[in-house]
Structure 1
C-alpha cells in the first residue's frame, strides 16, 4: 500500500530541499511506472536514473521519460544492440562508464560506424579516502577517483568515434546513504557526522576540479550527485547541476536514522495473523522481506501497525512465518493484519505484483509494480 498524501508530501519536501536544482528520480527506489510518472509530473522533478539498461529502454519506450540515465555500467549485449539500432532511443538514454573496457564491449556489440553516437556519463568515485587509500569511507564504485583520472578518461572518450560524453555522476554514499543518527548509538552517530563533514569538504574541491578537467574535452550537459539523504548538501555544491532522489518518496526505515530530514512513511505491506502459539505472541504468515546491504538488524522489516509490536531476536523476520511480541500482540486474533515497513524503498516491489494507492481511508487505484508488469530487471 502507498499513501499518496505522504508520497506527494515527500516529493515536495525533497524538491524544496533541492533549492531550485532539478531532481532526477531513482527508479530502483520506486519500481512502479505509475508512481514514476506521478513524481515526474510534480514541480522540481526531471528525468529518471534507471538501474539497468533494459529497464531504461522500457521506460523510454513506454513514455515515462525521454531522459533516462543508467546508473551502472552494463554488459547486456542485447539491450546495447537495441539501443544502438534506434536513434530516438539512443538520444533518450545515457550509459554509465568508468573503464575503457566498457567502451570496448559496446564497440564489439555495435561498431561505431554503424550506430548513432551513444550518450555517455562518467562515474566519478565519491568515496573519502585517507592514508593513501588504506582508509575508505563510502561504497566501492568507480576506479576514477581523482580529477586527473577523470580528465584523462574524458580525453579517451573524446578520441573514440561513436561516443559523446554528456554527463558526470558522483554518488557520495557515505553522506547520502548513511544515517547520521543511528538509534541507541550516540557515539557512533557523532563520529559519522564528523566524518561526513570532512568528506563533504573534500568532495566539493575534488568534484569541481574533475568537472573542470572533463570540460577541457567535452561539453557536459549535467553533473549529477547525491541521494535522498544528502539532497540539501549536494544541491549546495556549485559544481552539481542536478540531484538524484528516490527512497525518500516511500520513506523506508533506514531513513529514520537521519537528523536533517526524515520522510513521512508512505509505503507499507501487510501480513495476516495465522497463529497464536502462546499468550502475548502472534505469528503472521511470511514477512521475511530482508533488504540488501550489510547484514544486520537494520535490514529487517519493522512491524508498524498496530503499534507496540516487535520481532523476536531469535527468529527475526522469517520466510514463511514471523512471530511478534509486544503489548499489541495480546489483542491480535487469527485473520487480523499487521502492517510492516520495509528497510529499503523499491525492493518492496520485488515481492508484490500490485500497489494499492490510498487517499485518506480509501483505495483510489491499484497499479502494477515492475514485477506485476512481468519485469525483473535485476
Structure 2
C-alpha cells in the first residue's frame, strides 16, 4: 500500500488557504473496515465524540458492521435524533441538562431513539426535577465501573460509575424498575485501562501495561458476566455495551457483550499509534503554513496550538507528519499563534509551504476547524462541515 505524501495533499488543496484540515477518505474507509473485521460480527456502536462531523458519522454508520450511535451529550443526541442520523442513540455520560431533559420528555420520536446513562438514583431524580414526576417513560442504561482494582485503594482506569459489583448493579436495577417513568434497557462498561492505553510505545512500561491489561481483561470478563446475569434476572436488557477502539478483540470475546463501541480508530490520531492490537491509518490531518524562517534548520508555522485534553504531557501535542523528518521544539512546542518545527526537512521549507500535522485525539481536531476537506487519491472530492461548522457546540 502506497501512502500519500505531502505533495499529494498539497496538490489536492492547492486552491485553499491554510490553516486547513482534511480527511483522507480512503484511510477513513480502511479504518472502518478494519474495525468491523476486528469486531468479527459483533455490532459496533459509533462513538460520535471521536468524529464530530456529521458526514463522517453517516458514512461510518453506513459501513457494514456498524449499528447505532454513542453520543457524548444529550443535546447532541437530540440533534442527531431530529436529523434522523440514527434511531438508536446511547448517551455515554449522565446528564444534568434540564433543558435537554425537558426536550427529551416532550419528544416522542426522541424518547424512542435515545437512551440516557445513569449510575445512581440521583440521576433519576434529576430527570424528575427537570421534566416533572409524571414525565413519559425514559429509556436508561446502567453504567458499570470497568476499572481494575487489584488491591484496596488501587484504582487503574477511568473514574466514572460508583457501581462496581454485580450486587450493586442488581440493586440499582431494582430501584430503576420501582421508579415510575423509566425503563432499564442496557448496561455499559468502558474499560479505559485497556481500550485507551497503548501497549507498544517502545518504552520500559510496555511490559507492565500488557501485564496489567491481561489481568484486567480476565477480572472484568468475570465481573461483567456476573453483573449482566444479575441485572437480567430483574430486567430484559436490549444491549450490553463495552470497550473502545483499543479493546475490540477482548471485549467482543465476552459472551454477554452484545455490542462494542469505537470511534477513534476511524480517525487514527497519534494516541493510537502505539498498540499491538491494531494500526489505524492517519485519516485526519491539518496543514499549517510556514510564516517565518528564523534559521536555515527551523521553519515557524502559523498557529497550531491544538493541544489535546487529558494529562498535561508531550503525548497531547500535535505531531508533524509530512514532510517526514520534522519535530517540534521542546522549548516552544505547539503555540497559540506559532509553531516552530525543526529537522532535516525544515531546510527545504520556504514561506508559504505547508506542513501537515496530526492531532493527538481523534475528535478534538473538529473543534478547531469549521470544515473538513475530503481528499480521495490526491483529489479534493468535497468540503463538509464539522460540528463547529454547523454551529453546534455540545461542550
Shorter-chain TM-score: what band? over 0.9
Greater RCO structure (CA 8 Å; 6+ sep): 2
Aligned to 1:20, which of 33, 41, 44?
41
Task: Return 5+ residue gaps in structure 1 as ranges.
Answer: none
Aligned to 1:11, which of 22, 28, 32?
32
- SS of the residue corresponding to residue 376 of structure 1 reads coil
Tell me, in whole angstroms, the C-alpha distance in 2 between the residues paired with 1:43 and 1:230: 19
- Cα offset for 1:160? 0.6
Tell me, in whole angstroms, the C-alpha distance in 1 between the residues paired with 2:284 and 2:107: 37
- Cα offset for 1:262? 1.1
Tell me, in whole angstroms, the C-alpha distance in 2 between the residues paired with 1:192 and 1:369: 35
- Cα offset for 1:28? 0.2
- Structure 1 position 127 matched with structure 2 position 144: no
* Ranges of 4+ aligned residues in structure 1 off by more than 3 Å: none
- Cα offset for 1:111? 2.5
Aligned to 2:190, which of 168, 171, 188?
171
Deviations 1:94-118 (A, max 9, x none): 00000111110101111342x3210
Tell me, in whole angstroms, the C-alpha distance in 2 between the residues paired with 1:190 and 1:358: 38
Aligned to 2:313: 296
Deviations 1:334-355 (A, max 9, x none): 0000000000100000000000
Deviations 1:2-46 (A, max 9, x none): 011000000000001001000000000000011100011110000
Aligned to 2:77, which of 51, 56, 64?
56
- Structure 1 position 140 matched with structure 2 position 190: no
Aligned to 1:371: 388
- Structure 1 position 320 matched with structure 2 position 337: yes
Aligned to 2:173: 154
- Structure 1 position 199 matched with structure 2 position 216: yes
Aligned to 2:250: 233
Pairs within 5 Å for 1:277-356:
277-356=294-373
Instruction: Output the TM-score relative to the length of structure 2.
Output: 0.94
Aligned to 2:99: 78
RMSD: 0.7
Aligned to 1:182, which of 184, 201, 211?
201
Deviations 1:187-230 (A, max 9, x none): 20000000000000000000000001111211100000000001
Q: How many residues align?
A: 374
Tell me, in whole angstroms, the C-alpha distance in 2 between the residues paired with 1:332 and 1:363: 23
Pairs within 5 Å for 1:82-121:
82-113=103-134, 115-121=135-141
Tell me, in whole angstroms, the C-alpha distance in 1 between the residues paired with 2:126 and 2:260: 29
Instruction: Output the TM-score relative to the length of structure 1.
Output: 0.98
- Cα offset for 1:131? 1.6
Task: Return 5+ residue gaps in structure 2 as ranges.
Answer: 1-21
